[in-house]
Homo-oligomer: A and B are copies of this chain.
Amino acid sequence: MAKARTGRPGVSASPEQQERRETGPLTRRGHARRAALLDAARRVFEEKGFMETRVTDIAAEANVAQGTFYTYFDSKDAIFQAVATRVAGEVIVELGSSNPQGAATYERTYASMKRFIDSYRRNAKILALIEQVGTFTPEMKQIRLQVREAGVERMTRIIEHHQAEGLADDTIDANLTAEALGSMVDQIAHVWFNLGKEFDEQEMLHALTLVWLRGAAIYDQKVAGQAAEA
């Protein structure tokens, strides 16, 4: 009789169909599929970018039919948000896992920089996409800011710690300084890995470390020594 009125835009899915998408998969197999789709999506997004990625591509990469995609995700935007949230979470965890205690010596700061740069490099593509998609979606802007915030907060705590210990100029605003220095590292990584400008890793890490310590007004012998030699 009546053929299916399939794919008619403007007619939204019946509530019952959407429920599963909201509830999440119920069976073990369902969970596996969802995860497979997420992984596939990450790979395709990294390869093709957001706009060039088609839902078809993701489904194909995950070896499922197109319709299956919609069992788990509402739309391309939705799965991107899921991927982005996961990556953002990972990056935040990676940054926070390091031990920021003790004095910020040149070596420690250098190691910290290296850790950030490595983490960024690994996730550069997705981070860039978050940035790009953030242009049209407020949610992505939030995620982008959260990643940033994690880094900035950590820097703020380090600076405050040094100020409290008398190891840093305590007349400066720790938070704003951290905002500035965090931005510096963030942007260098972006220019490096996303815009494709090439830097020598060691030299760049050295430069960042020096500027960071000086900018944070931390009294460090090596830095001071360098200044003294001048």
Copies in the complex: 4
CA–CA, A129 and B186, complex, Å: 19
- CB pair A207–B60 under 8 Å, yes or no, is no
CA–CA, A211 and B184, complex, Å: 11
Check A220 for interface membership: any CB of B closer than 8 A.
Answer: no
Closest B residue, CB atoms, query A2: B1
Check A99 for interface membership: any CB of B closer than 8 A.
Answer: no
Quick one: which of A187-205 are within 8 Å of B by CB?
Answer: 187-188, 190-191, 194-197, 199, 203-204
The residue that A129 contacts in the complex, of B135, B204, B211, with Cβ under 8 A, is: B135
Closest B residue, CB atoms, query A50: B2
Question: Among the listed stretches A100-108, A115-123, A169-177, which one makes contact with chain B, having 4 or more residues with CB under 8 Å of it?
Answer: A169-177
Check A161 for interface membership: any CB of B closer than 8 A.
Answer: no
Quick one: which of A131-164 are within 8 Å of B by CB?
Answer: 131-137, 141, 144-145, 148
- CB pair A1–B133 under 8 Å, yes or no, is yes
Interface string of A193-228 (1 = CB under 8 A from B): 011110100011011101110111100000000110
- CB pair B4–A5 under 8 Å, yes or no, is yes
- CB pair B148–A176 under 8 Å, yes or no, is no
Beyond A54-B17, A56-B16, A136-B49, whether A229 also contacts B171 by CB under 8 A is: yes
Beyond A131-B131, A148-B191, A172-B210, whether A51 also contacts B3 by CB under 8 A is: yes
Please list the residues of chain A having a beta carbon within 8 angstroms of any beta carbon in chain B.
1-6, 9-11, 14, 16-17, 49-52, 54, 56-57, 59-60, 75-77, 80, 128-129, 131-137, 141, 144-145, 148, 168-173, 176-177, 179-181, 183-184, 186-188, 190-191, 194-197, 199, 203-204, 206-208, 210-212, 214-217, 226-227, 229-230
